Amino acid sequence: MPYKSRGRFENARPEGMIQAFEEYCTCIGIGKKDRLLLAASGGVDSMVLWKLLKEGGYSFEVAHVNFNLRGEESQKDQQFVLKQAKKDNVHHHIKSVDTKKFARKNQLSIQMAARKLRYDWFDEIVRSNNLSCLLTAHHLDDNFETFLINVNRGTGIKGLTGIGQKENVRRPLMNFSKEEIREFATKEGVDFREDISNSDVNYERNWFRHEIIAPWKSRNPSILKTMQRNFERWNELDRLIGQTLSNKVLEIKSIGESEQFSIASILEFEAPITLLHALFSPHKFSESQLRTIYHCMLEKKVGAQIISQSHQITVDREFLFIEEKRSLKDETSTPIKSLPFTLNTPISIHLEVVDKNQMDLGCSENEFIDLDKIKFPLHLRKWEDGDSMFPLGMKGRKKISDILIDKKVPRARKSAIYVLVSQEEIFCILGLGIAEHVKVTSSSEQILKIAIP
């Protein structure tokens, strides 16, 4: 089912709505051979969409989520959808959920919890039943409301584009106003349920709908058509900006042990904060965090770390380093009780006993030590503040932090450095060297090879 860009039909009036609907479906890539899933709440929008799909001869199933938020009314909504599905002989999916419990457990607002519950379930139905895509009944008024909500909360160009079409979620009423939908429902005798909470202005969306958009329409009856054209222009601008940013990201990004981005290149870009959005918003960094990153770069706050739900960014002298946030499991000590020993996560390492003639001293990825100079169990762990060792070739003890500075290890890598410990004494910094007291000598009999694949 190919996706096509949004079109606009000025003549989408109720009397010709079925034809206009079919034209718009074609425009956004919905065909009559597709197997569709309709999200049906029982309200006027989804029931009109139901009617249009049925009259147009489209193949569809319906899905309804009972969020159990409105007592008896929620049960009536469920029964209404079920009755309509049986009447029209439409395959249906019904699910009842405890939204409040889910919200508490996952520390979400009721609205966000309901959204996650329904879209996760809809996605599961589409995948498990090999359906083409999900259809929702969002319309032009919804788009306008979403735009105002985004502006009120603070947004970039993406937030100005409204509710978009997606590959797996299509919105075939997006070209129609609420007024047109209601007129069609009246004319065609479409049954639906009224949600009285839609008039409660304590909800943000309802406040914009009744207190802002309604008076605006009275003053300017053509505001929806104006906004529709605005959305088209902003979508084109968003695609243009997206292409420009994608090219810039490829230019400044380099892959090493962690992803790194040139600070100079970011600051030289005409819109650095917008570029930071493109780079790091997918990793759940907020607007305020992105601005913090920007100011840390400007003020050269080397070593500053900004942490999101899933990743952390470290500001170094020349680069921003980003890596996944390590779990608590990564921070524990791993005991090594016998040889050979292999570990693949959180770090790759292999330990084995070898003969002296197998020592490849030219390979920087391997270290060789006198096995008789250490005692088991060994422990593999992250280095910590205050750690020290006797570096190879030195008689005195030196802090690990100073060794890392001498080795010019970037700040972003320092937190990922591991050490090997025997009897509470560090004898190896993985990839960076061994301690003086475990070095191989002419009298060494057993050799331990430490390999970092």
**How high is the pLDDT of residue 331?**
55
Contacts of 295-298 spanning 24+ positions with Cβ under 8 A: 297/263, 297/266, 297/267, 298/267
**How high is the pLDDT of residue 403?**
94
Q: Does residue 141 fall inside a structural domain? A: yes
Domain match, 319 and 365 both: no
Give the domain CATH number at 320.
3.30.465
Q: What is the mean pLDDT of residues 16-21?
A: 91
Lowest pLDDT segment from 177-191, 201-215, 340-354: 340-354
Q: What is the mean pLDDT of residues 360-386?
A: 87
Contact 203/197 with Cβ under 8 angstroms?
yes
What percent of the chain has pLDDT above 90? 66
**How high is the pLDDT of residue 131?**
97
Domain boundary among 277, 303, 324: 324
Q: Would the pLDDT of 15 be above 60? A: no
Q: What is the mean pLDDT of residues 267-278?
A: 92
Q: Does residue 241 fall inside a structural domain? A: no
pTM reported for the whole predicted model: 0.66
Residue 393, domain extent = 329-451
Q: Would the pLDDT of 285 be above 70? A: yes
Domain match, 304 and 194 both: no
Model confidence band, residue 311 (pLDDT cutoffs 50, 70, 90): confident
Lowest pLDDT segment from 40-54, 59-73, 289-303, 348-362: 348-362
**Spatial separation of the C-alpha atoms in residues 96 and 106, rounded to whole Å:** 18
Q: What is the mean pLDDT of residues 413-439?
A: 93
Q: What is the mean pLDDT of residues 191-218?
A: 92
Q: Would the pLDDT of 9 be above 90? A: no
Q: Would the pLDDT of 233 be above 50? A: yes
Q: Would the pLDDT of 87 be above 50? A: yes
Domain match, 340 and 403 both: yes
Using the Cα atoms of residue 196, residue 201, residue 202 and residue 206 in order, give the sign of their dihedral. positive
Classified as helix, coil or strand, 286 is coil
Domain boundary among 293, 324, 355: 324
Domain match, 163 and 59 both: yes
**How high is the pLDDT of residue 4?**
41
Q: Which residues make beta-bridge pairs with 277?
A: none
Model confidence band, residue 364 (pLDDT cutoffs 50, 70, 90): low
Domain match, 271 and 217 both: no
Q: Would the pLDDT of 127 be above 80? A: yes
Domain match, 291 and 365 both: no
Domain match, 307 and 333 both: no
DSSP 302: T
C-alpha pair distances (Å), 159 with each of 151, 154, 275, 278, 318: 7, 8, 16, 13, 32
**Of the candidates 411, 4, 433, 6, which has an alpha carbon nearest to the alpha carbon of residue 234?**
6
**How high is the pLDDT of residue 5?**
40
Preceding peptide of 377 cis, ω within 30°: yes
**How high is the pLDDT of residue 303?**
81
Q: What is the mean pLDDT of residues 410-418?
A: 84
Residue that wins the pLDDT comparison between 259 and 27 = 27
Domain match, 292 and 352 both: no
Q: Would the pLDDT of 1 be above 70? A: no
Q: Does residue 238 fall inside a structural domain? A: no
